[in-house]
Structure 1
Amino acid sequence: MQSRINGELGRELGDGYLAAFLSFGSGLIILSITALGHPATKRGVATIIRSIREGSIPWWYLAGGTAGALFVLAQGLTAALLGVALFTVATVTGQTLSGLLVDRRGVGTMAPKPITAFRLVGAGLAVLAVGFAVSPQIQLGVAPWVLILPLAAGLGLGWQQAVNGQLRELAKSALTATFFNFAFGTAVLAIILLVHGLISGLPQQLAGSPWLYVGGAIGIIFVAGYAIVVRITGVLLLGLGAIAGQLAASLAFDLALPVADHPIAWQTIVGTIATFVAIAVAAIPVRATSGAPRS
């Protein structure tokens, strides 16, 4: 839904850069207002700043918002051009690969998870399942280079989830981690928008539909939720679970409120089921043998 909204905002404005900034900036405004009336969030912000100054955590833990900014920028610039289906396949591919790599490396207190055969098969199956599920809506004839930005954005999501999880653990507040994510991302997008505006100019008027500006609020929910869960599941399983949940929710919505000229494709049903199978495969632990660690 967020990809659809931000992509449509970029199309309405005729400027994906401004759409990304408005989406992230609106999220930052909401979080700033919330923090003023939420003592735990304010304490968490103070804790993070103190930890950075003391050197107990690296400063780049704050930069998770850069990946989020790239993702929202990709939505604004390419989602309307590619279509949500192809955009989803590209980002899922990048997100799944980054999930494997970040889990393998480990971040902060997150223990490394080896790349096992089950995790590889589950990850590959998930990408194929998502591609199959959205295949009826894929628009062909798009230049391959357009896929680079959403693929790169997907690669950044795994790292973003890991460092946000570390901030949440330290601050004892998911809203604190989300605040820093949006603050850093908004700053990055502001710089990009400034350069873009100086070169190409900016739109003279904003889009009129209020619903086009809720992408930031939706992003808050996702970022905060991921920051809470990632320490338990790891990056790969979190990403796969989120993907499966989005497909299942979309399918349930279509079943509950069918549209006459938009029938549910059998590929969508099969692909959605297959994503849950992929999660089950990726979650299979390696049996302990002599001297072999568990996954």
Structure 2
Amino acid sequence: MRQQSEQPDRSLPIWALLILVMVLVGMAMPIQSRVNTALAAEIGSATLAATISFLTGLLVMIVVTTTTSTGRRAVRRVRPALRSGQVRWWYLLAGCVGAYFVLTQTLTVGFIGVAVFSVAVITGQTVGGLLWDRIGLGPAGRKMISPFRVLGAILTLVAVAWTVSPHLTAAGRGVDWLILVLLPAAAGFLNSGQQALNGRQAAAYGPVPTTLINFLTGSTVLLAVWGIQAVATGIGPALSPVWWHYLGGPLGIVFIGAGAVLVAKVGVLVTAMGMIAGQLVGSLVLEVVVPTAGSIVAFATVAGTGLTLVAVVLASLPDIRRSRAQP
């Protein structure tokens, strides 16, 4: 792993564009969650819905890879990257984290609520982003834990807690379920590591094979879990007649593919924080435009979402200043 990150010379408009892209990519996650939730309600199985989501994403990536010359060339670079050691074999297991994330969501949301789940995941993502950047797991190399980065991470956690505070107050759950919070926190922590490994793969052979491999490994894990569940409970396959219920996979492609590219450019922490801001912005837009039962849009919801954007800029300042100072 590289010991020091190389910061390209980027102008302020380029940094602004990168932050905007991170936010837009992050917005895909709450939309995907809404789609998968609707699919699960339609077919009566959250595990099967997650499996279908991964399989549709895998199908799209297979089509993209096999029908485009760019995709075929990129896939041919995978084996040389593995042989040379540029990509370790265990990097290819990053997609299993996505499967774990979905399964954790299925197991815990009903007990701890969506708001607490979100706080736990984002806490894990933020802590993981700091750690993975510090040890240099991502392709951008090691990044020092500067006061700006720590302050930005803390501000992100405060902003998220403020954003979801109306939901937390409304939940009113007891303390006996708090241990379940560790599962989504671990999912968030591992998710930031997944982005780092995806970034290394994308640097070696591009985002197309990286995304394809993620969906392949994730689909394998979920198929195995659903198969065991189907044998144990007798759940049969089912399909939804609603076309948009199958958009979860394509939305995941955006999240995984773009995230792999962004990690290489700005590091794990800033990418995670930018996507967190996008998740909150996307959730806010959904609650305003397409509200569901229990949707709450209060001052804290809007102000906390805005504060996450400030946190992203704050955490990015060291890299922005460093790149601007280069001749």
Q: Same fold (TM over 0.5)?
A: yes
Distance change (3 Å), C-alpha of 1:10 and 1:146:
farther
Distance change (3 Å), C-alpha of 1:54 and 1:280:
closer
Checking the alignment, whether the CA contact within 8 Å between 2:95 and 2:218 is kept in structure 1 is yes
- Separation (CA, whole Å) in 1 of partners of 2:184 and 2:248: 17
Q: For 1:214-293, what aligned pairs fall within 5 Å after superposition?
A: 214-252=247-285, 257=289, 264-285=297-318
- Separation (CA, whole Å) in 1 of partners of 2:84 and 2:270: 33
The answer to whether the aligner puts 1:196 opposite 2:229 as a matched pair is yes
The answer to whether the aligner puts 1:212 opposite 2:245 as a matched pair is yes
Match of 1:144 among 165, 174, 178: 178
148-157 or 46-55: bigger deviation? 46-55
Deviations 1:21-52 (A, max 9, x none): 11111110111111121111122112112322
1:263 offset after TM fit, Å?
A: 6.7
Distance change (3 Å), C-alpha of 1:203 and 1:273:
same
- After TM superposition, the score normalised by the length of structure 1 is 0.85
How many residues align? The count is 285
- Separation (CA, whole Å) in 1 of partners of 2:73 and 2:250: 22
Unaligned segments of structure 2, at least 5 residues? 1-30, 322-327
Partner of 2:93: 63
Higher relative contact order (CA 8 A, sep 6+): 2
Identity among equivalent positions (%) equals 38
The answer to whether the aligner puts 1:89 opposite 2:105 as a matched pair is no
1:205 offset after TM fit, Å?
A: 3.6
Distance change (3 Å), C-alpha of 1:259 and 1:202:
closer
- Separation (CA, whole Å) in 2 of partners of 1:44 and 1:123: 35
- Separation (CA, whole Å) in 1 of partners of 2:113 and 2:44: 16
Residue 114 of structure 1 aligns to a residue whose secondary structure is coil
Distance change (3 Å), C-alpha of 1:54 and 1:177:
same
Distance change (3 Å), C-alpha of 1:274 and 1:13:
same
- Separation (CA, whole Å) in 2 of partners of 1:260 and 1:96: 28
The answer to whether the aligner puts 1:38 opposite 2:72 as a matched pair is no
Unaligned segments of structure 1, at least 5 residues? 289-295
- Separation (CA, whole Å) in 2 of partners of 1:120 and 1:264: 29
Distance change (3 Å), C-alpha of 1:212 and 1:151:
farther
